[in-house]
Structure 1
């Protein structure tokens, strides 16, 4: 299919929740060597209360059951709320609107806080975790897919540094003990230009002002590269932290 057809197809695909099924076979990679899902599942089985931050459409959380009786999920993007509630309400999950810097739960009310690719605010984490409560987060670092922006002629994807060291320092400053730190830059490979257009629509913060018209010249350059080399490869940036809230002395 020619450039115009691939781009038009990707631009017309509806976006629903946090589902990248349409990209199957057109993109590969970005997964780090660890399994966030397996780590989260082990922690969920040991917890009596759970908060999942930025749950998207609830795709991952719905696979971690059986969930604690007290499970809350937050989502800060309005279009995803209905999707998350439709998927999670039958599982007994209370889905609330909220972002990582304003979590809509009471102080000290959570045994386990999960956060996969959501906004991580150390102060809010420390506020909502019960004494001895656990945080597990996988974050997207500030170097994520920066080669996309460079190839398109777009500004860098993030305006500040965000890496494992930054996050550890923030958690330590609020009294959290970090027990596990991992950081990797796995490859992410696109096999056609339509896949990249779809990705940029779904992950809107990569190039916030993205439109096909605005970045057509860069998209055509990448399309020519894919046709010549069979792929367009960039580097993702992922880091994982596990931490524990302080236990208050009596």
Structure 2
């Protein structure tokens, strides 16, 4: 199943609502959308690639003149528009669009963001005005390392740490961005209950085909027993942030 079909399927199950999942993080070095807002000039126009349900970008809507959020999934865009109407943000719109082909004029945006989503660096550079910035946060290969080890499989399981970061940086350099800053963290993540972790595994592709293998149930229970702490069920959150200047 391709990525778009996967997210359409899970969206039909949970309505894209991850707010029910209780999780705390210790050691995160930044908040992505706050970072974007702080690095953008007053009155900036923002493009958010892979906006999902829009909850994250809507939280910083008062810090931009206008925001356009795009996603390849129709159901995600429907949810994002419903969330926008609920919080009554008139300076935000959400559109269904592929990141590979941005249907906007050249030099239209002051800031472009992409959180945990693929992007086309050349298209990003095209729609950014001179002096604009592009920020992307991506998931490192060693994210959820103890979970992937427990199941013997997972996203980027066994791949060299830093491979995706190197790839993203090369793509930005090829798109002729002027200066690229890089930041990384590996934080501790705690899921309050087994149900919270189960929700994550059922509704994200961290462990491919979770629940479809006979041994998955016991692997899950063993993981809970081994990693339960007073703060919650422990795993890690590996992230990197690239900030490219045009």
TM range (shorter): 0.7 to 0.9
Note if contact 2:37-2:64 (Cα within 8 Å) is conserved in structure 1: no
- Pick the aligned partner of 2:36 from 33, 40, 44: 40
Deviation (angstroms), 1:184: 1.1
How many residues align? The count is 228
1:248 corresponding residue in structure 2: none
Deviation (angstroms), 1:200: 1.3
1:108 corresponding residue in structure 2: 107
Note if contact 1:193-1:222 (Cα within 8 Å) is conserved in structure 2: no
1:208 corresponding residue in structure 2: 208
Note if contact 1:168-1:178 (Cα within 8 Å) is conserved in structure 2: no
Q: How does 1:1-250 map to 2 (within 5 A)?
A: 15-17=14-16, 19-24=17-22, 27-29=23-25, 32-66=28-62, 68-88=64-84, 90-154=89-153, 156-158=154-156, 162-203=163-204, 205-211=205-211, 214=214, 215-226=216-227, 231-245=232-246
Note if contact 1:146-1:234 (Cα within 8 Å) is conserved in structure 2: yes
Unaligned runs of 5+ in 1: 1-10, 246-250
Q: TM-score, normalised by structure 2?
A: 0.79
Q: Deviations over 1:48-79 (max 9, x none)?
A: 42201111211122121336555311012333
Q: Tell me, in whole angstroms, the C-alpha distance in 1 between the residues paired with 2:107 and 2:156.
A: 31
Deviation (angstroms), 1:104: 3.2
SS at match of 1:158: coil
Deviation (angstroms), 1:163: 4.1
Q: Deviations over 1:78-114 (max 9, x none)?
A: 3321111122364232311124333332333222102
Q: Tell me, in whole angstroms, the C-alpha distance in 2 between the residues paired with 1:123 and 1:158.
A: 25
Q: TM-score, normalised by structure 1?
A: 0.78
> Aligned pair in 2 of structure 1 residues 192, 70: CA closer, same or farther (>3 Å)?
closer
> Aligned pair in 2 of structure 1 residues 56, 109: CA closer, same or farther (>3 Å)?
same
Give 1 or 2 for the bigger CA radius of gyration: 1
Deviation (angstroms), 1:22: 1.9
SS at match of 2:105: coil
Note if contact 1:76-1:98 (Cα within 8 Å) is conserved in structure 2: yes
Q: Deviations over 1:26-66 (max 9, x none)?
A: x3216621232322222455344220111121112212133
Unaligned runs of 5+ in 2: 1-9
1:3 corresponding residue in structure 2: none
Note if contact 1:111-1:129 (Cα within 8 Å) is conserved in structure 2: yes
Q: What CA RMSD, in Å, does the superposition of the two structures yield over aligned residues? A: 2.8
Note if contact 1:30-1:236 (Cα within 8 Å) is conserved in structure 2: no
Note if contact 1:193-1:219 (Cα within 8 Å) is conserved in structure 2: no
